[in-house]
Structure 1
Amino acid sequence: MTTPPETRPLLLAVDAPSLLHRAHHARVASDQRDRGGRPAWALHGMLLQVLEAVERFAPDRVVLGFDDRSFSERAARYPAYKAGRAEKHPELLEQIDRGAAMLDAMGLHTVTPPGLEADDVTASAATWARSHGWECIVITSDRDAFAHISDSTRVLRLINGGIGASPLLDPAKLFTMYGVEAGHYLDFAALRGDASDNLPGVAGIGEKAASLLLEAAGSMRAVWADIEHADGTTLVAALDSLSVERTGRRTGAGVLRKLAAEGAREQFEFNRSMMAGRDDLDLGLTPDVRRSTGALPLDEEAVSRVAGHLGVSTTTVLALRVLCGTTPASRADRPWLRPA
């Protein structure tokens, strides 16, 4: 008998730098300091968002990913990676560097993979959850995480308004947004490119063309195979049939020319390899041990001491209630996990 999704244990995987960046920009004017006089507005905002997420989703385990800021495998491979982004505020960087230690001291579980990013932690969390029969919710502002949406993983895409106002995306909602099956999202993103990471897309292929292409062909593996072995004949026919139905005009030949152009496939494959999160990291999670890394509830003394250092009494009270409650999270009602 299949276990209903709402009764399976739940792993909450958080892209912590996303929370810190958003909290910094929202709260920098407050100039909030902790009891040691250090900048704390981004740390406080991140903690509030973690607490809101835990209260909303009632996870059994929480893992928070951080970027390795000392070395980047992706930047070493592609020096222009993320070039063009604005310089980070020095006080934001200082809080990012303190973030993992603060959460660990509280009893939460953080992972900073050498040479990698928080995205790789959340990708590995989705794989871990599926392999252990768990559900997973990823919290991030990075669209690359959409590639990990499945029947066991949903993504809360952070937008203005925080946790409560952000959409929880499952395969059906992702398809409504982009017209792309979850399993093909990485192909879609590699075609489109990602300006925020300074990764140009395949020339002439935007979001609309990419989604139409994948709907007609099923996958880019099939597209490249048809171009290589049949000069794209099957692809053109499928695209023309679909595009005439949708727009009244044929697009197959034009799309084929763009895909067959010099460097097009190389750009696609490069983008795909850069965007794909590592999903094989050892997160240090032990699913069958109740009092293990990342498990809730946490120790009251540790939570009180660390949250209290931020100097906001209401946050300390909230942290104690949300993180140290005695009701097992796995017994909580989770109606948002039920199929629509």
Structure 2
Amino acid sequence: MPNTPDMLLVVDGNNVAWAGFHALRRPMGADTPEKLVRAALLGLTQSVIGFAVRAGEPPDAAPSRQAGQQGLFDEPRQRTSGLIVAFDAGRPLRRRGLYPPYQTGRESDGSFMEYEKHVVEGIRQFSEVAAWLPLQLLRGANTEADDLIAAAVLQSGAAEVRICSTDRDFLQLVDDRVSIYSPVKRLVITPRNFGEATAPKSSDGTATPFPRERYLDYRIASGDASDNLPGIPGVGTLTAAKLVAAAPIDEYLAEPARITSVLGRKSARIDAAFASSEAAETIHRNRELMDLRLAARNYSSLDEYRRQGSWDETSFRAWVKDQRISALEIESAVRCMEHIAAG
């Protein structure tokens, strides 16, 4: 094992549960409530254990496998020393108090509403299994996992922290200590590749990078359609990247005439938004909703949200056998859990 620091791994539970559910639902032929719950449970369990075994690294081709073959449980280049899994619960009441339409698009999505109860039940069952694992569960009524994760990461004294999620909001936390593993892209995002990983591209493939410390400004300006959160009128991802590459977004409120010179063109919609109060209101609102460092201040203590599991190898092995989880390499999982428990 290389002499590298151990890793605190923080998993965005709902994000991973939904990804695992969709990855397994059709291959498993899940067409009953019981099978749908099982798809969610297995997808979540295999992902969390796989992330922990690999210390948040993408699956690599192991020497014992044929060239090009990848495994979920390949030996890592470093080891997981701590494991946190955070879940949403209920609805995001704090943010809806600031902006009522926040995330309401999901509730008008028939597919989301059809499957949500099965994914939630899969999460509940995983939470029971987690009592036998050396991990922390973070969850609170009508509380978003994003906020709990941000608080846990910022409060942690770990030398290295990796967040496992496809949620782009976490990219604002990347620094020399914190990195992101995006499971769908199988990509680890660090300060070294941040620009390449985040810069939007024009139709001809030209990227528009911007400073890492202005990622939150970029998101504030462009908005987030997945959360039903609009950006500044007339500002899409490419325009937002060009603006924040030149200056922090707040500077344009004081000097809106600068927008035309930065973009090399005039935009009636953008000019009107900055000439009125609309741009300022959007920037203020989106910062309140999107700034995870700001949100983390609401959770100076995570004690009421935390449940600590205790490593029980016998119960875990029996559960894996009973569930017939063939894709989970039990010996790799046990070695990893032993290391975390000993830490």
Distance (whole Å) between structure 2 residues aligned to residue 323 and residue 32 of structure 1? 30
Gap change, CA 1:252 and 1:171, over 3 Å in 2: farther
> Which amino acid in structure 2 is aligned with residue 261 of structure 1?
S
2:296 is aligned with 1:279? yes
Residue number in structure 1 paired with 2:337: 324
Distance (whole Å) between structure 2 residues aligned to residue 314 and residue 133 of structure 1? 30
Residue number in structure 1 paired with 2:140: 113
Gap change, CA 1:294 and 1:153, over 3 Å in 2: farther
Distance (whole Å) between structure 1 residues aligned to residue 16 and residue 271 of structure 2? 41
Residue number in structure 2 paired with 1:3: none
Distance (whole Å) between structure 1 residues aligned to residue 89 and residue 215 of structure 2? 26
Residue number in structure 1 paired with 2:190: 170
Residue number in structure 1 paired with 2:12: 15
Shift of 1:250: 4.5
Q: Give 1:60-139 correspondences, 5 Å limit.
A: 60-69=81-90, 72-85=93-106, 86=109, 87-89=113-115, 90-129=117-156, 132-139=157-164
2:167 is aligned with 1:142? yes
Aligned partners of 1:148 and 1:182 also within 8 Å: no
Shift of 1:204: 0.5
Q: Give 1:44-55 correspondences, 5 Å limit.
A: 44-55=42-53
CA deviations 1:106-160 (Å, max 9, x no partner) are 342110034321111221232123xx2521100112111111111111111231x
> Which amino acid in structure 2 is aligned with residue 181 of structure 1?
P
Structure 2: where are the runs of 5+ without partners?
56-78, 200-208
Shift of 1:255: 5.0
Gap change, CA 1:59 and 1:251, over 3 Å in 2: farther
Shift of 1:267: 1.4
Aligned partners of 2:41 and 2:119 also within 8 Å: no
2:40 is aligned with 1:42? yes
Structure 1: where are the runs of 5+ without partners?
1-5, 160-164, 244-248, 285-291, 331-340
SS, match of residue 138 in structure 1: strand
2:182 is aligned with 1:157? yes
Shift of 1:321: 3.2
Q: Which moved more, 1:142-151 or 1:275-284?
A: 275-284
CA deviations 1:291-337 (Å, max 9, x no partner) are x9579xx431242244344232563725643433459998xxxxxxx
> Which amino acid in structure 2 is aligned with residue 84 of structure 1?
G
> Which amino acid in structure 1 is aligned with residue 219 of structure 2?
A
Distance (whole Å) between structure 2 residues aligned to residue 88 and residue 74 of structure 1? 24
Distance (whole Å) between structure 2 residues aligned to residue 194 and residue 70 of structure 1? 18
CA RMSD for the aligned pairs?
A: 3.3
Distance (whole Å) between structure 2 residues aligned to residue 140 and residue 109 of structure 1? 17
> Which amino acid in structure 2 is aligned with residue 28 of structure 1?
R
Distance (whole Å) between structure 2 residues aligned to residue 186 and residue 315 of structure 1? 37
Residue number in structure 1 paired with 2:21: 24
Q: Provide the TM-score with structure 2 as the length reference.
A: 0.74
Shift of 1:262: 3.5
Q: Which moved more, 1:75-84 or 1:52-61?
A: 75-84
Q: Which moved more, 1:312-321 or 1:148-157?
A: 312-321
CA deviations 1:59-82 (Å, max 9, x no partner) are 111100100226632234433221
Gap change, CA 1:99 and 1:133, over 3 Å in 2: closer
Distance (whole Å) between structure 2 residues aligned to residue 319 and residue 7 of structure 1? 19
SS, match of residue 60 in structure 1: strand
Q: Provide the TM-score with structure 1 as the length reference.
A: 0.74
Gap change, CA 1:251 and 1:127, over 3 Å in 2: farther
Distance (whole Å) between structure 1 residues aligned to residue 211 and residue 141 of structure 2? 32
Aligned partners of 2:88 and 2:139 also within 8 Å: yes
2:323 is aligned with 1:303? no
Aligned partners of 1:9 and 1:60 also within 8 Å: yes
Shift of 1:7: 3.9
The percentage of counterpart residues that share the same residue type is 23
Shift of 1:39: 3.0
> Which amino acid in structure 2 is aligned with residue 182 of structure 1?
R
Residue number in structure 2 paired with 1:162: none
Distance (whole Å) between structure 1 residues aligned to residue 266 and residue 326 of structure 2? 61
Distance (whole Å) between structure 1 residues aligned to residue 233 and residue 140 of structure 2? 33
Distance (whole Å) between structure 1 residues aligned to residue 277 and residue 92 of structure 2? 32
Shift of 1:186: 1.2
SS, match of residue 150 in structure 1: coil
Distance (whole Å) between structure 1 residues aligned to residue 266 and residue 335 of structure 2? 54
> Which amino acid in structure 1 is aligned with residue 43 of structure 2?
G
2:276 is aligned with 1:261? yes
Deviating above 4 A after TM superposition, structure 1's stretches of 4 or more consecutive aligned residues are 250-257, 292-295, 325-330
Q: Which moved more, 1:83-92 or 1:15-24?
A: 83-92
